[in-house]
Amino acid sequence: MYTELDKVKSTITISLGLKNRLRDAKGSDSYEAYIAKLLRMKNEYKDNYIELQKFQRKEKVYSFDDKKVIFSYNKYNRSENFVFDIKITNIRQDGKNILLIAFGNDELQSGYRSYFELLALAIKTEIEPLFKHRGRFEDYYSWQKEFERLGLSRASFENDVMEKLNDYENKVYYK
């Protein structure tokens, strides 16, 4: 069965699933009219629309000394709403589960230091293999410059860096 979309010569390639969803959503409108309507809606509600996006999660292992940290994060995409959303799954030392990696005696600083090392690893893996944050993890200005240089969204900087640094300053332990 051929549809209007099949008759139009185009260089746009879409999946069969997307084509079926588009056909269901457009109803009796033509494809061109429906796409024009979507573009008008986007322009009308530019500041008031919600981007619904499902991020694909990746799992990675960070190893150093006799420790292994298993964590997950969102696979990078160029969405304005992209955030890495680092989640630690497990921490193991000498084959045993532990709750926290200790860097010195300060438990609060150890949790956030671990988090920012994982964030840097996710950035190196997903975007820039030569990413090297200079300075202390608390130095938000260096993080901001790196995020801008890499073209990462403001939402990612706010969520992945500033929110964690605010928690650190407010003495909220990283979980």
For 110, the token pair is: 């150890």
Q: Give the max Cα distance, the chain.
A: 70
Task: Confirm if 71 and 57 have CB atoms less than 8 A apart.
Answer: no
Residue 58 sits at φ, ψ, to 5 deg, of -125, 145
Tens-digit pLDDT profile for residues 44-98: 665 555 555 567 889 998 887 777 888 999 988 877 778 898 888 888 888 787 7
Tens-digit pLDDT profile for residues 111-122: 788 888 889 889
Helix, strand and coil in the chain, % to nearest 5: 45, 15, 40
Residue 10 sits at φ, ψ, to 5 deg, of -150, 155
Torsion sign across C-alpha atoms 113, 125, 133, 164: negative
Strands 87-93 and 57-64: unpaired
More confidently predicted of 23 and 160? 160
Task: Confirm if 62 and 72 have CB atoms less than 8 A apart.
Answer: no
pLDDT at 78: 76
